[in-house]
Amino acid sequence: MRLAPSTAMIGMSTEGLETYYQALKQDGKVTFVEDIENKPWGYRQFEIEDLDGNRLQFFRFLDD
The per-residue pLDDT for range 13-51, each reduced to its tens digit, is: 988 999 999 999 999 889 999 999 999 999 999 999 998
Cross-strand bridge partners of residue 43: 61
The Cα 5–Cα 50 span in angstroms is 9
Domain span including residue 43: 7-61
CATH code of the domain containing 30: 3.30.720.110
Please state the domain count of the chain. Answer: 1
> Has residue 15 been placed in a domain?
yes
> Has residue 29 been placed in a domain?
yes
> Has residue 2 been placed in a domain?
no
Specify whether the CB–CB gap between 42 and 52 falls below 8 A: no
pTM: 0.87
Is the pLDDT score of 62 beyond 70?
A: yes
DSSP class of residue 28 equals: -
